[in-house]
Amino acid sequence: MPTKSTKFQKGNVPWNKGMVGFVHSGSFKNGHVQSNTGRTHFRRGHVPWTKNQKGIHLSPKTEFQVGSLPQNKMPIGTIVIRQKAGEGAYRFIKTTERGKWISYSKYLWTMAGGKIKAGEFIHHKDGNSLNDSLDNYIAVNRAAHCKIHNPGG
């Protein structure tokens, strides 16, 4: 009766004896060589199959067409709600065409004439991050913000 661990007993040959490097499917096709250093390279003089095929289009019907817009494009001023892991939900607003998004609370605070100095945060007084009324905001520095959220620490 064989023992539980037969891997290092005399006479057993490991499954990978004689293999050089890590081998995966297709690694030795078309002159492709893989050395035991973990890097791949081609043999000297190997001609790639894409030579002289600049701008090759393998699926032109499904490629992105010039002038067309992506399906998920959102206009400037779009407001979305994002849920962070372990935190509450927050509103964000798109401010530029290049995809710049800022928190809605910062946007409302600056539009109302408030200034946010470096190192300051806009805190929701009632703790509800979706309550975006101006009287619910307060600008606090990092130390004060930490004390609000960790009163004992």
Within the chain, strands assigned E span 32-34, 40-42, 79-83, 89-94, 101-103, 120-124, 137-141
pLDDT tier at 19, thresholds 50, 70, 90:
low
Q: Identify the DSSP state of 65.
A: P
Task: Work out how many domains the chain is built from and give that number.
Answer: 1
Say if 117 falls within a structural domain: yes
Say if 128 falls within a structural domain: yes
pLDDT tier at 117, thresholds 50, 70, 90:
confident
Cα Rg of the chain, angstroms: 30
pLDDT at 60 over 90: no
Say if 110 falls within a structural domain: yes
Say if 29 falls within a structural domain: no
Place of tokens 């407001």: 79
CB atoms within 10 A of CB 3: 6
State pLDDT tens for residues 101-116: 998 989 999 888 888 8
Choose between 28 and 118: higher pLDDT: 118
Say if 71 falls within a structural domain: no
| Alpha-helical segments (H) within the chain | 104-111, 142-149
Q: Identify the DSSP state of 131.
A: -
Can you name the residues that pair with 139 across neighbouring β-strands?
122
What's the pLDDT score for residue 7? 55
CB atoms within 10 A of CB 110: 13
What's the pLDDT score for residue 28? 52
Average pLDDT, the chain: 78
Domain of 90? Answer: 79-149
**CA–CA dist 76, 99 (Å, integer):** 9
Tell me whether strands 32-34 and 40-42 are parallel, antiparallel or unpaired: antiparallel
- pTM of the full structure: 0.55
Say if 129 falls within a structural domain: yes
What's the pLDDT score for residue 93? 93
The amino acid that residue 123 corresponds to is H
